Chain A
Amino acid sequence: MSTATATATRTAPVPMRRRSFSWAPARTYIQAAIILVWCLAPFYWMIVTAFRDTGYTFESTPYPNHITLDNFGTVFDESLGNHFARNLLNSVIVAGITTLVALVVGVFAAYALARLNFRFKFAVMGFILGASMFPGVALVTPLFQLFTNIGWMGTYQALIIPSISFTLPLTVYTLTSFFREMPWELEESARIDGCTQGQAFRKVILPLAAPATFTTAILAFIGAWNEFLIASQLSSEQTKTVTVAIASFTGAQPHQEPYTAVMAAGTIVTIPLVILVLVFQRKIVAGLTAGAVK
């Protein structure tokens, strides 16, 4: 609605601009091009290197040459001690379960925070926000000892539980902001039609909230997928996630950083995320900025 008025006022001064040539658009395009290159060049370089022969690792030709798929073979080569397929599966399991738990639990809290009036609302929101900003390193020490004592080191739950500590607050915070902007009049009409508050929630609100929930799920999943600190300390060979695996990759040449293979692994991990993010671009931006602005 506000965008409509914005474009209306923006198009208005066009005749004025036509009078003389203005440098303003050209300057905008130059700056936009700089932003584009700054954001995409490293990403582009990762992909180019991923497809480059190891012998030409430090080739500086800006376009792809010496193209090979060997690096992707190295990534999955178990004889080199890489278990990347396993690592990918581990990341999917850990990030997937974390996201699921955070959503199932967080959706109720978000509803309460967005819709209900109760005492301590401010305090609860403050606690949840504080939790989302909590330094993960302050959890690693006690959990390291605790999980060692109860024999959980290197298990999936040892990775999932600490991941919930930052995904759940993020989920609640984002969902709360989304929920506040939903057409809640429909809930009231459902209640007038005889639904209880619980029924109105299940039958009217949940279907309406699905897109917001989905966006939040993507954000939570990306957060959990990208986690490194906790996974690097509490995982074992069997439960190592992709981020940890990429940081400690072994290549064909001993004592030589396998740059091209690492770039290939990075490409494998990143491309699905980038596609996901670009497809749901609008929603993700809305989710990221939700709460920061009113």
Chain B
Amino acid sequence: MSTEVPARSEATATPTAPHRMPGRESADRKQVTQGRWASMLLLPTLVLLAVVIVYPVINAVTMSFQKDAGLNPVTGFFEQGGFAGIDNYVHWLGQQCNGQACPPGTLGSEFWSAMGTTFFFTIVTVILETVLGFWMAIIMARTFRGRSAIRAAVLVPWSIPTAVTAKLFFFMFAFEGIINKLLGTQILWTGSEWPARWAIIISDVWKTTPFMALLILAGLQLIPDEVYEAAKVDGASAWQRFTQITLPLVKPALMVAILFRTLDVLRMYDLPAIMTGGANNTTTLSILVVDQIREGFNSAGAVSTITFLTVFLVAFIFVRFLGANAVGAATSSGKK
């Protein structure tokens, strides 16, 4: 842990290594030219990201405060849009349609259940992936003949497009499919709430555990064997070695992996969209937004903004309180 502290000092970008510079004055000058050079090199990327992300997001936020044109259910007349204030947000967060609770079956009534489903998927898949990924990483870290075959095999699920994974598992989870035959069950997997949820979770875990396993493996490989040898000599049990050495030392890599996976599941769309179409309470926030687009842009803008803020908030909690220092890992200079 303590060896990783120097990562932080880089961020301030003050010349912290004066012994490398001939003198303070030239160090400052170097800093200025480097800064100019850096802004030139970064400009195209930042401009492009501003065009493809920042501009659409500002657009979506602006839209979310506008009213969707449509028939007024009270008067029966067609109404143009116009400024809506926070009406769209009240509509989603309060599940209010025209001043009363949205009737069941409308998109408006599904917001909190979609939020719940999204978080349920996120928590369950990330826990399963972390446990399975850790197990896979520990096996892959061992030396045995055929280890490279395992390392190659875990890349296969990762490289299959999610849409194909969805279709593949949809087929395997079919009523007459191989999974019912293997289990000797007759479950309508994608046809009812809990089986459908588990089918989606299992598909996601299959597809993305390898990513988790590889990140954890990379972290495991940084732990020198001497540490384990020393612990063994001191009489530490396998469990003690795992909790006292492996876990704390692999934690930085693990937290980054969990952060990436969490943010990825929060925006889950492909698997439920293809496997169930969002039926049987498998509608995630992303599916809700896409369904809403055809019913009204501005209202869709509001729910997409809520989705974005939710993801942002979770990322913030991870980085601020759980110590997932992805940025620090990326900006730290050199390895070792």
Contact = CB atoms under 8 A, between A and B. Distances in A.
A137 B48 contact: no
Nearest to A36: B153
A31 B139 contact: yes
B222 interface: yes
B42 A25 contact: no
Interface in B109-150: 135-136, 139-140, 142-144, 146-147, 149-150
Contacts of B169: 42
Interface in A105-126: 105-106, 108-109, 111-113, 116-122, 124-126
Contacts of A277: 155-156, 158-159
Contacts of A117: 13, 15, 30-31, 34-35
Q: Size range of the interface on A?
A: 35 or more
A35 B263 CA distance: 26
A125 B52 contact: no
Contacts of A138: 56-57, 60, 289, 304-305, 307-308
A292 B161 contact: no
B136 A10 contact: no
**Most interface-central of A35, A49, A173 (chain B CB within 10 A):** A35
Contacts of B49: 127-128, 131, 165, 168-169
B56 A143 contact: yes
Contacts of A42: 157, 168-169, 172, 206
A284 B147 CA distance: 17
A66 B49 CA distance: 51
A128 B46 CA distance: 8
Interface in B225-254: 225-226, 229, 252-253
A229 B150 contact: no
Contacts of B154: 35, 39
Most buried by A among B37, B46, B48, B168: B168
Interface string A126-154: 11111101111111111111100000000
A63 interface: no
Given A39-B157, A117-B31, 8 more contacts: A29-B146, A137-B307, A228-B269, A228-B270, A247-B167, A276-B159, A289-B215, A293-B219
Closest 10 A/B residue pairs (Cβ): A109-B45, A289-B218, A243-B163, A135-B267, A142-B59, A122-B11, A112-B41, A226-B161, A118-B38, A58-B176
Interface of B: 4, 7, 10-11, 13, 15, 30-31, 34-35, 37-39, 41-42, 44-46, 48-49, 51-53, 56-57, 59-60, 63, 135-136, 139-140, 142-144, 146-147, 149-164, 166-169, 171-172, 174, 176-178, 181-182, 206, 210-211, 214-215, 217-219, 221-222, 224-226, 229, 252-253, 256-257, 260, 263-264, 266-267, 269-270, 273-274, 285-286, 289-290, 293, 297, 300-301, 304-305, 307-308, 311-312, 315, 326-327, 329-335
